[in-house]
Amino acid sequence: MTHSPTTPGGRVEGRIALVTGAASGIGRACAERLAQEGAEVLLTDIQTREGTAAAAEICAAGGMASFVEQDVRQESRWVEIADLVKSRHGRLDILVNNAGIGVGGPILEMTLEAWRHQQAINVEGVFLGIKHCAPLMFGAGGSIINMSSVAGLFGAPGLSAYCATKGAVRLLTKAVAMEFATLGVRVNSVHPGIIDTPIWDSIASGVPLPEQGIAGANRPDLAAMSQVATPMGKPGYPPDIAEGVLFLASNESRYMTGAELVIDGGMSAR
């Protein structure tokens, strides 16, 4: 599948951005798009080789990017990264809390370990990102964008644990948006539908993506799923989500906070 390039226009020119889970999929597309529009982007991920390559490709294309390894579950690492951003730039303008995993399976077969692992990355990682990076935005303003899902809007059988995490991100976003409204920091969530990314390999197998890292034999047919689930009848792709993230990061969304940006091909309209 090919995608038409978007002409750069400097919509976030000169801003400092941090994108977690940026080695592949939606996170990488967000980092690339923000860099195209003039932001200097710090990519983080546990996948060091892929993340380093992603940052290098952004720089080769004329953007400004760097990569550091990060496990978003570790508070000490968040402290280090916030200190790094502060020492380099003195501020942070855009935070994209994108890192996440998907563990599928019936609730009666879900282990407590798998439940907690998914909660730690998908929910606690977002909490820690907000806690340690938001102070770098106070006074100067900024935009925090938390990656939720349509699974955070309605339930899906076999995805109960994943739905729980994404629903938590949705309401965490709204509560924090109210706390930060008078501090000049906007906080919004993005809710992708069926997007063609590697996370489907982990959801199908029940193995968290970072531990798997390769396409699973039981990967669902996303085209067939989309035909049934979405009015548009086709899956989305990471650049579709990156455009929404760019909008929320830019001044075009300056009067939006605590909002849900749903990008799902009409899936939630049914």
CATH code for residues 16-265: 3.40.50.720
d(CA 1, CA 115): 34
Q: Tell me the pTM.
A: 0.90
Query: Is pLDDT at 97 greater than 90 in this prediction?
Result: yes
- The percentage of the chain sitting over the pLDDT mark of 70, rounded to a whole number, equals 89
Query: Is pLDDT at 187 greater than 50 in this prediction?
Result: yes
pLDDT tens for each residue of 41-96: 999 999 999 999 999 999 999 999 999 999 999 999 999 999 999 999 999 999 99
Query: Assign residue 260 a region: left if phi > 0, alpha if psi is -120 to 50, beta otherwise?
Result: beta
Listed by start position, the domains of the chain span 16-265
Backbone angles phi, psi at 132, to 5 degrees: -95, -20
Q: For all residues of the chain together, what is the average pLDDT?
A: 90
More confident residue, 169 or 235: 169
d(CA 14, CA 78): 23
pLDDT tens for each residue of 2-49: 344 445 579 999 999 999 999 999 999 999 999 999 999 999 999 999
d(CA 3, CA 7): 12
More confident residue, 9 or 258: 258
Average pLDDT over residues 183-212: 71
Query: Is pLDDT at 211 greater than 50 in this prediction?
Result: no
Report the catalytic residues. 162
pLDDT at 6: 47
- Residue 247 banded pLDDT, cuts 50, 70, 90: very high
* Inter-residue long-range contacts of 63-67, CB under 8 Å, 24+ positions, other chains counted: 63/32, 63/35, 63/36, 64/35, 64/39, 64/40, 65/31, 65/35, 65/40, 65/41, 66/41, 66/42, 67/22, 67/42, 67/43
- Residue 208 banded pLDDT, cuts 50, 70, 90: very low
